[in-house]
Structure 1
Amino acid sequence: MGGDSSGYKDYVAGLLAGVATVITGHPFDTVKVKLQKHNTEANGIKYRGGLHCTARILKTEGVKGLYRGATSSFVGMAFESSLLFGIYSQAKQSLQGQYQSGKPQPQVIIPSAAFGGAIISFVLCPSELVKCRMQVQGTDTLVVNSNRYSSPIDCALKTVKSEGVTGIFRGGFTTLLRESLGNAVFFSTYEYVRFRMHLHLNDASSDPAHLIDVGVGIMSGGLGGIAFWSAVLPLDVAKTIIQTSSDRSSTRNPFQILKSIYRGSGLSGCYMGLGPTVVRAFPANAAAIVTWELAVKMLGIRQD
């Protein structure tokens, strides 16, 4: 990625990538959030695993239960993805002038991705707080029946009313850590896998170039997504607990929360929701990258 990026087009391509991510990944995300909330509580395991949790949601709420909280996710993810890909492309372009090379440059990719991740965390934190609070409520008899919010807007308004404007930014520090570190890992993996695959496939394959590009996009985006979540899932577990806690005085220190989870449930507790997260990470991020790269081509942005 790079070359002569043209301002707003980078952001439009990112927006389309965000929409593709939500359509593909939101059901897995709902399962992940329910596991993180209800399986880390002191009174024990509510769900036996990702499949059991999915089956419970489908049984009690149908398919719409898997897309609970998707409205705020669509708005948040479209805006956030637009910013992330746009900032990453622009920052990378401005840094790349110093390092002219066809190979991926970690000294360009890592700061560009971490900067983009830090900026989007301010957009992502409120939208994820609303999404998570919507996702953990429901009609499943295994957990306390709580339908405190009738819609994402109702959730946001009630949160602000009871906790003040800062309440909607609960978990902001943890979100910033997750996004800056996670995106540095994601884009490094994506750029490196993309570079290595193009190197081998362009020499060895007689398939049309667009088929190669789609295949490379699927693999590099999918593996990038798995790398992202493998690196930052414990921070995500802490973020879910911080954002869905009904106790306003509970700690917002992610390391303190992870320490207490580790004491109670070991390492597996810190990686709660790993199954649906990894299953979601590949198709959702593959869809995002393929959509992004396709949009970049259609909008006429040059790629290196």
Structure 2
Amino acid sequence: MDGLGDAAKEYIAGSAAGVAQVVVGHPFDTVKVKLQAHNTTAHGKVYKNAFHCTSRILVEEGIRGLYKGASSSFIGIALESSLFFGTYAQAKQLLQGKSEDFVSEYTGGMIQVTFDDVISRNLQCRMQVQGKDVMYATRYSSPLDCAVKTLQREGVRGIFRGGLATLYREAIGNAVFFCTYEYSRYWMHNYIDSPQFSSNSGLVVAKDIGIGIMSGGLSGMAYFTLQFWTATLPLDVAKTIIQTDHNPQSSRNPFRVLNMVYRRAGLAGCYAGLGPTLARAFPANAAAIVAWEYSAKILGIRRE
């Protein structure tokens, strides 16, 4: 890298990755949030499964329903992803050694959490659960309206709702994501690099896109596996419930919320949204990594 210029380029490339991730992954996320918010209440399940939820959204709201809350995501996740990838790249430059990938990604994940809640996730979740569902009447006309009403009712603390649950969820998971990305990318390059690829520009592009898709997709699946086998996905359920609960007196302790969910809906309730999370993992993260790598290449950043 050449100092400040390349550092700024890393943050720009990170923003491109965030936009790509929203375009591909937001519909899956909308279904996941609705399942988490509506299938964990005392009133029983609103949706039979992810397919039922998706079909209800399409019938009642059209394709736009799947992208509800996306405007705040495009802005928030572009900034979040800029910090996420930019901090990772900068920390990786500074930290040399066996643990550099884990430590630099852990650093990026910690910084990401603040913007994750303040800019996008909180408003996004509140927008996603509204609509023609039985339990939630339309409350917000836009992300800005959502932010203003949240501040009026709950103050600044309302904007930060779910921050603790997000912190637990993201810190280690993001480290696993980038470790998987780095090592899978390294081994795939070693395996398929050959004079045939290096002498044909078309094959080079195909190779780079293919490696980006596979390394990004595998990283997303690794993150999902961590979510499934640990308490990470249940904490995501708790985060959604905390952020979409309109009662300011409700508990913000994710473990208390999970205990409540378990009593109401059992273990299945604690893993609500599992299907869309799995379906989203590969395509959304593959799109993000390809966008990040090619934006970096266009901007002239050299990847080792």
What amino acid maps onto 1:112 in structure 2?
S
Using the size of structure 1 for normalisation, the TM-score is: 0.91
Q: Secondary structure at the match of 2:217?
A: helix
Q: CA deviation at 1:205?
A: 7.2
1:133 aligns with 2:134: no
**Cα 1:276/1:204, change in 2 over 3 Å:** farther
Q: CA deviation at 1:4?
A: 5.6
| Preserved contact between residue 129 and residue 168 of structure 1 (Cα < 8 Å) | yes
Which of 132, 137, 150 lines up with 2:141 in the alignment?
150
Q: CA deviation at 1:302?
A: 1.6
Q: Secondary structure at the match of 2:30?
A: helix
Q: Secondary structure at the match of 2:95?
A: helix
Write out per-residue CA displacement over residues 63-110 of structure 1, whole angstroms, 9 at most, x where no aligned residue: 1111111110110010000110000000011002xx3xxxxx4x1111
What amino acid maps onto 1:89 in structure 2?
A
- The CA distance in 2 between the partners of 1:220 and 1:124, in whole Å, is 23
Unmatched tracts of structure 1, length 5 or more: 100-104
Mapping of 1:21-170 within 5 angstroms? 21-96=21-96, 99=97, 105=98, 107-126=99-118, 127-140=120-133, 143-170=134-161
What amino acid maps onto 2:206 in structure 1?
L
Which of 141, 157, 165 lines up with 1:174 in the alignment?
165
What amino acid maps onto 2:143 in structure 1?
P
Write out per-residue CA displacement over residues 158-187 of structure 1, whole angstroms, 9 at most, x where no aligned residue: 000000111111111112222212211111
Say how many residue pairs are matched.
Answer: 292
- The CA distance in 2 between the partners of 1:262 and 1:204, in whole Å, is 57
Which residue number corresponds to residue 258 of structure 1?
258
Which residue number corresponds to residue 246 of structure 1?
246
What amino acid maps onto 1:138 in structure 2?
G
Structure 1 ranges of 4+ moved more than 6 A: none
Q: CA deviation at 1:280?
A: 1.3
**Cα 1:204/1:175, change in 2 over 3 Å:** farther
- The CA distance in 2 between the partners of 1:258 and 1:4, in whole Å, is 47
1:186 aligns with 2:177: yes
| Preserved contact between residue 129 and residue 136 of structure 2 (Cα < 8 Å) | no
Unmatched tracts of structure 2, length 5 or more: none
Using the size of structure 2 for normalisation, the TM-score is: 0.91
Q: CA deviation at 1:24?
A: 0.8
How big is the alpha-carbon RMSD for the aligned residues of Structure 1 and Structure 2?
1.7
Which residue number corresponds to residue 216 of structure 2?
221
Q: CA deviation at 1:195?
A: 1.5
| Preserved contact between residue 22 and residue 70 of structure 1 (Cα < 8 Å) | yes
Q: CA deviation at 1:268?
A: 2.6
**Cα 1:139/1:122, change in 2 over 3 Å:** same
Which residue number corresponds to residue 205 of structure 2?
210
What amino acid maps onto 1:114 in structure 2?
Y
